[in-house]
Amino acid sequence: MSGERQFQIFRGADARGTMEAGVLELGQKTPEQEEGVRKLTEAGFRDGGEVKVLVNIPGYSVTHVWFKKDYPMLLHSHSADCLYCVIAGSLELGAETLGPQDSFFVPAGAAYAYRPGPDGVELLEFRHEGRFDFKNLAKNPAFYAKALKTVAANREAWRTAKRPVS
């Protein structure tokens, strides 16, 4: 029976990026956001992180994220609730610093961003949705200018960065 749940094993080596796995839909962007993201991408923005879908079955998805030191995360929201669990390194979320075994919950539609700590951060994202969107809410041109400088200053180090230790 195809609708029956079955025991399954998911291998990290088989994980794919969110776009490749077909789980992430990019929301509409203003021309300014489009230009800002294009410039960041050309400068090496993607070298600062790795995002892989570990599990995607009906009702459950788990994504592994590794953001390297100083990765300039865009203020954004998603269309699905998400529970985040730090597994290595640390992050700054507002005035809070979270480390291994710390978690935080972001409801669908809530705007947020966090900063990876000095060694970067690895975390797991748990959702009850297999597909979700990414709405870029970073609209300030000053953010993109500062982020572009951060990417330029870190790109070479990001290419050889080691994962944080828990």
Q: pLDDT tens across 38-68, in order?
A: 999 999 999 999 999 999 999 999 999 999 9
Among 104, 113, 108, 103, smallest CA distance to 129 is for 108
- The third-level CATH classification (topology) of the domain covering 15-158 is Jelly Rolls (2.60.120)
CB within 8 Å of 105: residues ≥ 6 apart: 81, 82, 83, 84
Angle between helices 31-43 and 141-160 (to 10 degrees): 20
- pLDDT grade, residue 24 (50/70/90)? confident
CB within 8 Å of 26: residues ≥ 6 apart: 133, 134, 136
- pLDDT grade, residue 28 (50/70/90)? confident
Provide the 10 A C-beta neighbour count for residue 23: 19
Cα-to-chain-centroid distance, residue 19: 12
Share of the chain above pLDDT 90, in %: 84
The pTM of the full predicted model, rounded to 2 decimals, is 0.91
